[in-house]
Chain A
Amino acid sequence: MSALEPTTPSAPQRARWAWRPYALTLPALLLLVTVIGYPLLTIVLRSLSEPQWGLQNYAWFFGAPVNLTVLQRTFTISAWVTVVCVLCAYPYAYLMTAVGPRVRLILVLCVLIPFWVSGVVRTLSWVILLQDSGVINSLLRSAGFDGVRLIRTQTGVVIGMAQVLLPFMILPLYSVMKGIDLRLVQAARSLGARPSRAFFTVYLPLSLPGVYAGAIIVFILALGFYITPALLGGPRSTMLSTLVQTQVLSLLQWGRGGAMGVVLLVATFVLLALAAPVMRSRHREAGRR
């Protein structure tokens, strides 16, 4: 018997303490149930019960072409934002793992400082940059180019949203990349792999869990965006949250607003369920290698 044995609990002991981690999650669970679970339940109930019990609010949602256009647009814009975030965040997060601690600190600050500034302020500064008489267009014009329409377009909305959401992509990516043993890449290189090959067959698959985690967070947050599309977008970049706002706050149609929320939630779940097998199989493959 080793001296360490008494510190490892026996089976019955382990069972006795098994509830402990759950107890520690109690505050979080309580918060989730009260501030998310209960309102969510109310939303679902109201979507089915107002003005009377039935599916009228859902029938209305799928009967009005504008709702479907906007729903589809919401997913398209969110997908674009996710793509832009991945492309911008990947090299950035990689750089964070490659540099010394002091530069890394600066890089982390560069991500976090805009994160601490209110989203409204950041979006308004994008208005100044993107508007027709704004900084970007003045620069373009003074360089002899034609100005481009950025504000009140989907491009403008995607740019603004990607900037707001970038930290949510960089941070999970960094935490995964930091755990990748760079000697594996060196090993690949020493066995004769070209740098690109070493990256695509060794590094990229190992970093994919970070990409997936970040992409899911960014995509889901993007679906519910309200302020940025409202300030940077025009009618053709209206997202579902704006329609919900109109129904609830201007028309007092809480049932319809609720139905829209439920549709968005369900559509998100369906999409994630479809994406999950892809992510899982890739993940396993990467693990096997």
Chain B
Amino acid sequence: MLKSRYGIGAVLALGVLTGAAFAQDKPVAGEVKEGSLKGKTLTFVSYGGIYQDGQVAALKEFVDKSGVKLLNDGPTEIAKLQAQVESGNVTWDVVDTDDLPPYVYCGKLFQKLDLTKLDVSKIPEGQVGECSVPAMNYGVVLMYNKEKYKDNPPKSWADFFDTQKFPGVRGVDGSGSPTGGLLEQAFKYAGGDPKAMTVADIDKAIDVVRKLGPDTIFWKTGAESQQLAESGEADMLMMWTGRAMTAVKNGAKYAPAWQDWLVVMDQMTIPVGVKDTDAAYALLNAYLGKNAQEILTEKTSYTPINSEAQPKVDASVSAFLTNTPERQKQGYKQNFKFWVPNFAVAQEKWAALMAGN
């Protein structure tokens, strides 16, 4: 009797122990073992400015605890990464990218992620890719000049494209790659169904943007879009939420039309051929943590990608966070399946528009 009790106890104890060991193997977002990366160096690459500063602040706990030496580089350029991968000398360990590249170059430039090494349970649904986890969320939102449109403000992208009903200068993201969501909205305006878009339809969508007229401003940088709002040069602007927030904070008399705001995100990736994959995973996993994401949002005003994060931000910032239930309902997600294989074609056609053709 006694023996068997001991036996059960032993089995239980063993069970608890193996359970604990198992739990230790299973990563928890935001956690890293004390001193586990001592003497190691990681190079983190992102887009600089307050964004990368915020990311580094978010990673401070990870750096302090793990003992890793964190180096920063940037801005992210896929061409540079390609050169590193081709030459077999990859010095970028963790890279923050736009939303499409990890899908387009998955397995070629970016490693397929082993999800047993990451805790992705708190990431909003549908955002974990084969080669990426999100770095943060934000949106592309239609901002309009309150003084110009007064009682009859534009309410959707359809109004943005309708220069008859809503005259005025438009500002469009001309910073490089086309925004898939915007082209889908343009195609919808032209009478098409974005869910059934074909390659030939890209031309139709771009035509809608072209028809906005010669006055249209294609802004090259986020700062320029902000400046356009603050100086009142454009009447309707397609803007990144972070920039829209700052412009309004600085006194721009603009308001957002949230219907069908375009969901976009930055991605965190590990390039093919990094020297210490496990260290890179440890950084990613720490970055996904609740604390890290709260710090990121407080420093940058971008929306956190950990659903438990409760950043302390003031009203002007929270007005532009995109993770509230209401915003989630209004958001428009681009058709990834269509854009990934057609990225190059769309880019080419968009570049022609950008070159005045």
**Interchain CA distance A70-B220 in the complex, whole Å:** 18
Q: Decide if B177 is an interface residue (CB 8 Å cutoff).
A: yes
Bound together, the chains give a CA A252 to CA B78 distance in angstroms of 8
Given contacts A66-B357, A69-B357, A234-B217, whether A246 and B233 have CB atoms under 8 Å apart is no
Question: Are A238 and B214 also in contact (CB < 8 A) when A133-B233, A251-B347 are?
Answer: no
From B78, B214, B220, contact of A230 by CB (8 A): B220
Interfacial chain B residues near A69, Cβ < 8 Å = 355-357
How many chain A residues touch B (CB < 8 A): the figure is 27
Q: Which of B37-55 contact A (CB under 8 A)?
A: none
Interface centre among A131, A234, A252 (most CB of B within 10 A): A252
Interface string of B320-357 (1 = CB under 8 A from A): 00000000000000000000000010011001111111
From B77, B347, B352, B353, name the one whose CB has the most chain A CB atoms within 10 angstroms: B352
Which residue on A lies nearest to B215, using beta carbons? A149
Interface residues on B, range: 20 to 34
Q: Is the CB of A243 closer than 8 A to any CB of chain B? A: yes
Rounded to whole Å, the gap between the CB of B344 and the closest CB of chain A is: 6
Per the bound structure, the CA–CA distance linking A203 and B126 in Å amounts to 75
User: Is A250 a contact partner of B220 (Cβ separation < 8 A)?
Assistant: no
Query: In the complex the two chains form, is B217's CB within 8 Å of A249's CB?
Result: no
Q: Does A236 contact B (CB under 8 A)?
A: yes
User: Which residues from B are CB-within-8-Å of A243?
Assistant: 351, 355
Q: Is residue B79 contacting chain A, with contact meaning CB distance below 8 A?
A: yes
| B232 touches A (CB below 8 Å) | yes
B250 within 8 A of A: no
| The residue from A64, A234, A249 contacting B218, defined by CB atoms under 8 A apart | A234
Chain B residues with CB under 8 Å of A246's CB are 176, 347, 351, 354
A237–B121 alpha-carbon span in the complex (Å): 48
Q: Does B84 contact A (CB under 8 A)?
A: no
> Which residues does chain A contribute within 8 Å of B198, judged by CB atoms?
none
Which A residues are CB-close (under 8 A) to B352? Answer: 64, 66
Verify B232–A235 contact, CB threshold 8 A.
no
Interface check B259, CB cutoff 8 A? no
Measured CB to CB, the closest approach of chain A to B158, in angstroms, equals 23
Which chain A residues border B356 with CB–CB below 8 Å?
69-70, 73, 234-238
Q: Note all chain A residues with C-beta closer than 8 A to B174.
A: 235
Those of A33-64 within 8 Å (CB) of chain B: 64
A66 with B355: in contact, given A131-B233, A152-B217, A250-B347 (CB under 8 Å)? yes
Find chain B residues with CB under 8 A from A237 CB: 356
Q: Inside 8 A of B77's CB, which chain A residues have their CB?
A: 249
The answer to whether B18 has its CB under 8 Å from any CB of chain A is no
Residue pair A252, B82 in contact (C-beta under 8 Å): yes
Q: Which residue of B lies closest to A256 (CB)?
A: B348
Asked if B231 CB lies within 8 Å of chain A CBs, one says yes
CB distance from B171 to the nearest CB of A (A): 11
A248 to B218, CA, bound (A): 20
Q: How far is the CA of A187 from the CA of B214 in the complex (A)?
A: 57
**27 A-B interface contacts by CB (under 8 A):** A65-B357, A66-B352, A66-B355, A69-B355, A69-B356, A69-B357, A73-B356, A131-B231, A133-B233, A231-B220, A235-B353, A235-B354, A235-B355, A235-B356, A236-B356, A237-B356, A246-B347, A246-B354, A248-B79, A249-B79, A249-B176, A250-B78, A250-B347, A251-B344, A252-B78, A252-B79, A252-B82
The 3 closest A-B pairs by CB, nearest first: A235-B356, A236-B356, A66-B357
Q: Which residues of A are in contact with B by a Cβ distance under 8 Å?
A: 64-66, 69-70, 73, 131-133, 152, 230-231, 234-238, 242-243, 246-252, 254
Having A69-B357, A235-B354, one finds 14 other A-B pairs with CB under 8 Å, namely: A64-B352, A69-B356, A70-B356, A152-B217, A231-B220, A235-B218, A235-B355, A238-B354, A238-B355, A246-B347, A249-B176, A250-B176, A250-B351, A252-B78
